[in-house]
Chain A
């Protein structure tokens, strides 16, 4: 099973709202990722968790707050977002450790900020 699940599929939120995106994998992967993808662009890396610890933060604004409660789950907490944050948010996972970094992606959450 190479499935990564994400909820919700779609989310509309106002600029003063607080919401969370959720991601889950049951492949035993120890690295998990959040990407942001704008239309007609490749995914842009936001965060990497390795063995449940934040290992990479690509200078993402603090209105995005990641959390990794355990090795299977990854959350992205959203607060006071701006309309330009509207995008497809993708979660991915990989085995972790050394070697080929083959990542498996979820279907994404389409976020609209009004």
Chain B
């Protein structure tokens, strides 16, 4: 079956630190991969996506590369800000019609000044 595994949080970093949140997946076929971010009290926002192997998704300084050989889609940012404090969800879509997204459990990030 399809599944997503994220590193357990919470992750606490100082401002301007480097961020990595690990995500690995199990899927049949060639899924699309996503990172969503949820700020306190809000819904989920699509942060970035990649639809095929070796694609790099990027947005707001965040990046993730679709690595088929390691079945990974790790999220990185070179210099985090306090405003990046949120919960980050890795997700996959099996690319077969309206098959629902499969979410990881989420990683809470706290950035301190």
Show the binding face of A for B, using Cβ within 8 Å. 2, 4, 6, 31, 33, 40-43, 45, 48, 50, 55-56, 88, 90, 92, 94, 96-108
Q: Are A43 and B32 in contact (CB under 8 A)?
A: no
Q: Assess A90 versus B44: contact at CB under 8 Å? Given A100-B51, A102-B49.
A: yes
Q: Which of B85-113 contact A (CB under 8 A)?
A: 89, 93-101, 103-106, 108
Q: Is B45 an interface residue (CB 8 A)?
A: yes
A sample of 20 cross-chain residue pairs with beta-carbon separation below 8 angstroms, ordered by A number, consists of A4-B43, A6-B43, A40-B106, A41-B106, A43-B44, A45-B100, A48-B98, A48-B100, A56-B98, A88-B43, A97-B97, A98-B95, A98-B97, A100-B32, A100-B49, A101-B32, A101-B93, A101-B99, A101-B101, A102-B32
Q: Is B46 an interface residue (CB 8 A)?
A: yes
Chain B: number of interface residues, binned into ranges: 20 to 34
Which residues of the partner chain B approach A92 to less than 8 Å between Cβ atoms?
A: 44
A109 nearest CB neighbor, chain B only? B43
B70 to chain A, nearest CB (A): 21
A103 to chain B, nearest CB (A): 6
Q: Which of B37-55 contact A (CB under 8 A)?
A: 42-46, 49, 51
Q: Are A96 and B98 in contact (CB under 8 A)?
A: yes
Q: Are B42 and A33 in contact (CB under 8 A)?
A: no
B34 to chain A, nearest CB (A): 7
A107 nearest CB neighbor, chain B only? B43
Q: Are B101 and A98 in contact (CB under 8 A)?
A: no
Which residues of the partner chain B approach A108 to less than 8 Å between Cβ atoms?
A: 42-43
Q: Are A105 and B43 in contact (CB under 8 A)?
A: yes
B97 nearest CB neighbor, chain A only? A98
Which residues of the partner chain A approach B49 to less than 8 Å between Cβ atoms?
A: 100, 102
Which residues of the partner chain A approach B101 to less than 8 Å between Cβ atoms?
A: 45, 101, 103
Which residues of the partner chain A approach B45 to less than 8 Å between Cβ atoms?
A: 105
Residue from A40, A41, A90 within 8 A of B43 (CB atoms): A90
Which residues of the partner chain A approach B100 to less than 8 Å between Cβ atoms?
A: 33, 45, 48, 56, 101
A34 to chain B, nearest CB (A): 11
